[in-house]
């Protein structure tokens, strides 16, 4: 199971939201690049990087942070937050971003996301599904939809989708444990997909339980910043 630490950016700073609420914002660090280097120095090799300004505005905003992390680290970065155009996709891939997370656009403009999977290759994309219950939310979690998670995933699996990140909004930032039932269901229903869990991890025990669901990876944010999980623990866990 891959351990994927997260950096969320607002105004170029490293922040966390609770349950996706922009009003419940906490600034943890002024410099996201420093944080990324700390992850790399702890022998973690992945990074989930989210441009929350971009998610809200519908276009990538924090380009400088992306560039600097790409220049100064060797982390395998998956990036999300407002990617809407071919130009943005090409610019991110040219910068060396490993994968691009697509959420709102996959719901609102399915033809465009399908075209991207064909044009640039499914290995370069992650379907990023943020859910309340089993319904998908979009636009930085600000807008709920009637789209059912399993229908959306099935639609894109038919078109070659390989990677899925699913965030359970109800558990995100709460540190009370992930929605294990949701991830078991996803792994069982879509055994060919690489499913990444996101939301709720607050302890090493949570990671052990997630491992039993056979998810491909897990994104961890607030638990790191609040000191619930140490980078040394994550390093040791990743190599067991």
Catalytic residue, from 53, 78, 130, 172: name it. Answer: 130
CB 221 within 8 A of CB 50: no
CB 80 within 8 A of CB 51: yes
**Interatomic CA distance for residues 167 and 218, integer angstroms:** 10
78 assigned to active site: no
DSSP letters, 77-135, are EEEES---SHHHHHHHHHHT-SEEEE-HHHHH-HHHHHHHHHHH-GGGEEEEEEEETTE
Looking up tokens 């170029």, which residue turns up? 12
Q: Is 139 helix (H, G, I), strand (E, B) or coil?
A: coil
130 assigned to active site: yes
**Interatomic CA distance for residues 234 and 158, integer angstroms:** 34
Q: Which helix (H) or strand (E) holds 39?
A: helix 32-41
Active site residues: 8, 130
């Amino acid at each position: 199971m891959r351990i994927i630490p997260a950096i969320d950016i607002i105004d170029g700073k490293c922040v966390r939201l609770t349950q996706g609420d922009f009003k419940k914002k906490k600034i943890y660090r002024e410099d996201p690049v420093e944080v990324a280097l700390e992850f790399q120095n702890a022998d973690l090799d992945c990074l989930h990087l989210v441009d929350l300004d971009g998610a809200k505005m519908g276009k990538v905003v924090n380009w400088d942070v992306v560039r600097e992390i790409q220049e100064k680290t060797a982390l395998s970065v998956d990036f999300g937050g407002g990617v809407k155009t071919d130009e943005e996709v090409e610019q991110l891939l040219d910068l060396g971003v490993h994968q691009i997370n697509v959420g709102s656009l996959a719901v609102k403009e399915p033809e465009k996301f399908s075209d991207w999977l064909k044009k640039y290759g499914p290995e370069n994309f992650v379907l990023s599904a943020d859910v309340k219950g089993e319904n998908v939310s979009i636009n930085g979690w600000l807008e709920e939809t009637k789209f059912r998670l399993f229908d959306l995933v099935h639609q894109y699996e038919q078109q070659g989708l390989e990677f899925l990140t699913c965030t359970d909004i109800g558990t995100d930032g709460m540190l009370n444990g992930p929605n294990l039932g949701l991830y078991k269901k996803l792994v069982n229903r879509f055994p060919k997909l690489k499913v990444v869990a996101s939301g709720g991890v607050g302890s090493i025990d949570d990671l052990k339980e997630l491992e039993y669901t056979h998810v491909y990876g897990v994104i961890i944010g607030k638990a790191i910043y609040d000191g619930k999980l140490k980078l040394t623990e994550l390093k040791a866990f990743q190599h067991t």
